[in-house]
């Protein structure tokens, strides 16, 4: 038999009424009989669309405040019946059940309801849809005969195909709609499960479903031979983040690696209240600086390591002005090394906003301007919008690891000065900056900061001594008087000895080693101030 199914009867019941009147009228114009419920029925009737009320089909009134209306054999029999199976056809005839060929349903706005600041548990429960998902699943299961429409953005595709086929839908379209329908109900149930687990204080429930919605397919993954796509959490977040940043026109498509690096940069720059700039390359900050002036913060961050910064990511926690755009486009000399006319190139610049003139400068400035640089706007950064319930998810083959996000920062009341010489106010400021940065660098990690700017980074080494050596070598003379941060404790005093030789003035580390006293003694021997935080910041 042909896979075409003539649409003779449709059931429409929607919470989101965007475009539903026009959709229903277009169906009616093609001779489709419309069944509808509650508010949808009234909206269609008021617009002049001929509608059959659900109670006329079931023989029962809507009841219990609308909780019971579509849960009836005359509805689900009309959806689930196999029209090519004699026993099903006979059952329909015996019980006066008429086939339903199209269902248009979208669900109660559960996620929008729980997103409201004063949402009560009772409000949330009342917005759990029962009849809607039941109809969606029945229609989707029987997509051989029934088309299931779950979103206004599907209306045109259905109507276009019906116009081309004289009022029918194809199996290809019905199958596509069914796949989307089951994805919808899965995401819906996931949101309800997550909400109820949170209400019960169950941080890690027995079963977790991560609901993601595809944003766009990417050119490739980490490497050209790997296919990739970008998915966002189905539940939107108010937290300023890369996932929901707006890419301004003109830049080329953002890549897998760009997204990873940009997220690393932006999550670090969000840590600072004062004007700050972060430059990231390969997931690690090669430059970070804080200043009262955002332009000066940029110059200091860039100067931390201009070689690594080339082709990196710039994250800024203030709007990008014309003056800042000029600074980004300047050609610099650093430590006697002339970068030449090519200047500096960034893959992505992410900030709360961009002045239109600043965009023009970045796109067109002679010798630097690039049309393909991606400019991402996030909106104002506010820490009160940080989503503390979102999981940090790491995938392994065959499974996943879930943990809470590492949102621990500098905790003044937890800082313990353990050496004879306490840090000066300036050293304490630099220690705070270094400790904030070290959280965002791959372990093992050593970070050196001077005057609130990174001067050296040692990242991802198999031992902490090598990480320290790399950071000190990068800093050169700037290591003198700098502050050092380590993401984990020193099991031996070797890092302190190395720091003393470089002239490092102060150290922050978690503490907790059985041999902490050896490191403390080495600091005292070399007049280095050291503080313990009591927390570590491994980042694998």
Residues with catalytic roles: 141, 282
d(C-alpha 221, C-alpha 255), whole Å: 8
Full DSSP string of 111-133: HHHHTSTT--HHHHHHT--SHHH
CB 103 within 8 A of CB 14: no
d(C-alpha 341, C-alpha 115), whole Å: 51
Q: Which helix (H) or strand (E) holds 71?
A: none
Compute and round to an integer the Cα radius of gyration of the chain. 30
d(C-alpha 216, C-alpha 235), whole Å: 17
C-beta neighbour count of 536 within 10 angstroms: 18
Say whether 464 sits in a helix, a strand or coil: helix
Ramachandran sector of residue 412 (left: φ over 0; alpha: ψ -120 to 50; beta: rest): alpha
Q: Which helix (H) or strand (E) holds 17?
A: none
Buried b (16+ CB within 10 A) or exposed e, 451-468: bbbbbbbbbbbeebbebb
Q: Which helix (H) or strand (E) holds 77?
A: helix 73-80
Ramachandran sector of residue 524 (left: φ over 0; alpha: ψ -120 to 50; beta: rest): alpha
d(C-alpha 513, C-alpha 490), whole Å: 7
């Amino acid at each position: 038999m042909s896979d075409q199914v003539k649409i003779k009867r449709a059931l429409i019941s929607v919470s989101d009424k965007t475009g539903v009147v026009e959709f229903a009228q277009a169906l009616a114009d093609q001779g489709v009989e419309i069944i509808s419920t509650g508010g949808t029925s009234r909206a269609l009737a008021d617009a002049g669309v001929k509608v059959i009320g659900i109670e006329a089909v079931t023989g029962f009134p809507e009841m219990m405040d609308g909780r019971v209306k579509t849960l009836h054999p005359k509805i689900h029999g009309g959806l689930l019946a196999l029209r090519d199976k004699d026993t099903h056809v006979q059952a329909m005839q015996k019980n006066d059940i008429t086939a339903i060929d199209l269902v248009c349903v979208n669900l109660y706005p559960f996620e929008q309801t729980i997103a409201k600041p004063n949402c009560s548990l009772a409000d949330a429960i009342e917005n759990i849809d029962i009849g809607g998902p039941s109809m969606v699943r029945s229609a989707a299961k029987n997509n051989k005969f029934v088309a299931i429409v779950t979103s206004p953005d599907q209306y045109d595709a259905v109507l276009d195909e019906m116009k081309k086929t004289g009022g029918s839908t194809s199996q290809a379209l019905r199958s596509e709609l069914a796949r989307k329908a089951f994805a919808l109900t899965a995401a819906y149930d996931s949101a309800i499960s997550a909400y109820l687990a949170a209400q019960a204080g169950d941080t890690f429930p027995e079963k977790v479903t991560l609901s993601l919605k595809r944003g766009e397919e990417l050119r490739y993954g980490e490497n050209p031979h790997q296919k990739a796509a970008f998915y966002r959490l189905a539940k939107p977040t108010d937290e300023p983040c890369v996932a929901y940043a707006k890419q301004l026109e003109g830049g080329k498509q953002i890549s897998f690696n760009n997204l990873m690096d940009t997220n690393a940069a932006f999550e670090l720059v969000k840590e600072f209240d004062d004007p700050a700039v972060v430059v990231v390359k390969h997931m690690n900050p090669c430059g970070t600086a804080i200043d009262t002036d955002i332009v000066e913060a940029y110059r200091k961050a860039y100067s931390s390591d201009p070689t690594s910064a080339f082709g990196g990511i710039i994250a800024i926690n203030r709007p990008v002005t014309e003056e800042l755009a000029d600074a980004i486009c300047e050609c610099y000399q650093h430590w006697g090394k002339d970068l030449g006319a090519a200047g500096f190139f960034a893959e992505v610049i992410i900030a709360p906003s961009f002045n239109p003139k600043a965009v023009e400068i970045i796109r067109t400035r002679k010798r630097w301007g690039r049309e393909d640089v991606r400019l991402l706007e996030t909106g104002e950064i506010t820490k009160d919008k940080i989503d503390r319930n979102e999981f940090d998810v790491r995938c392994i083959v065959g499974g996943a690891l879930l943990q809470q996000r590492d949102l621990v920062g500098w905790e003044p009341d937890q800082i313990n000065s353990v050496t004879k010489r306490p840090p000066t106010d300036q050293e304490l400021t630099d220690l705070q900056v270094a400790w904030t940065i070290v959280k965002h660098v791959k372990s093992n990690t050593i970070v050196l900061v001077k005057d609130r700017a990174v001067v050296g980074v040692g990242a991802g080494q198999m031992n902490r001594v090598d990480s320290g050596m790399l950071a000190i070598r990068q800093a050169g003379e700037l290591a003198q008087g700098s502050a050092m941060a380590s993401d984990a404790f020193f099991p031996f005093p070797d890092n302190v000895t190395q720091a003393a030789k470089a002239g490092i003035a102060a150290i922050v580390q978690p503490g907790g080693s059985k041999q902490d006293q050896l490191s403390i003694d080495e600091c005292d021997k070399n007049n280095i101030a050291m503080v313990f935080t009591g927390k570590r910041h491994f980042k694998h």
